[in-house]
Chains A and B, each alone.
Chain A
Amino acid sequence: MKEIIVKGTLEELENVQEFLEQHLVYEQCSLKTIFQLNIAVEEIYVNIAKYAYYPNEGEVTIRYKIEEEPTTIVIEFLDNGKPFNPLVVENPNVSMKADVRAIGGLGILLVKKNMDQVEYKYDNGQNVLTLKKIIM
């Protein structure tokens, strides 16, 4: 399992995405798969960067591995911030008109739609969020 540890700021998003993209290109993922993983990774990382340690800052660990049969990309996000399960946020009503529409919740919706599996657990004082996407 490969990992990167970043200071959990928004600016580190680029480094997180670059770290993962290097591996995804190596795995010969399609552009569409890379796009979908980038979306999910951004939404989850930004959520952690904004809220996990607020109003302080803290580290976030991102781990990456491949599981076989079927070939699946597994990405884990770990932080020591406040216990928070982003998956219990209610899905937004996506059929409302622009003028009345609330904006929250779209990020998590995009994560769920673009990944095959999303799991959360609070383990040993850590938030652990796992994304899985089958690539073959």
Chain B
Amino acid sequence: MTISKVQEGDRLIIELEGQLDTLTAPVLEQEIGSISIEIKSLVFNFKYLDYISSSGLRVILVFQKLMNKQGGMVIQNVNEMIMDIFETTGFVDILTIE
């Protein structure tokens, strides 16, 4: 999995490419430390993410909980198969998907 980040003022965009699975989820989880208190808006771009498992969901939830406290979070460009996973697990109600 590749993680790219772009910051524009108080907005941080994180683009994920590849697989968010048991082996790569810990790498993304480390990024939580790089989200400073100034960040009010976190955008995940899933355009190039093609797979997510429960380990990945767990990490996304960690980011969502943090951003609930300091601003907001949206997820963009979710593919159909990952959307199925979000629906099955009820994550559609927790996340803001655009």
Contact = CB atoms under 8 A, between A and B. Distances in A.
Q: Do A and B come from one complex?
A: yes
B89 A42 contact: no
Interface string B16-59: 00000111000000000000000000000000001101110110
A35 B89 contact: no
Contact of B51 (A38, A43, A97, A101): A38
Contacts of A35: 50-51, 81
A121 B55 CA distance: 26
| Chain B interface category by residue count | 20 to 34
Interface residues of A, number: 28
A68 interface: no
Contacts, number: 61
B98 interface: no
A107 B68 contact: no
Given A35-B81, A98-B65, A110-B54, A46 B22 contact: yes
A69 interface: no
A109 B85 CA distance: 10
A110 B21 contact: no
A43 B25 CA distance: 14
B53 A107 contact: yes
A113 B88 contact: yes
Nearest to A46: B22
A136 B34 CA distance: 47
Contacts of B90: 94-96
B8 interface: no
Nearest to B81: A35
A14 B57 contact: no
B20 to A, nearest CB: 11
A106 interface: yes
A53 to B, nearest CB: 17
Contacts of A46: 22, 53, 55
Given A32-B81, A39-B53, A110-B89, 13 more contacts: A42-B21, A46-B53, A95-B93, A98-B64, A98-B68, A99-B65, A101-B61, A106-B58, A109-B89, A110-B54, A110-B85, A113-B88, A114-B88
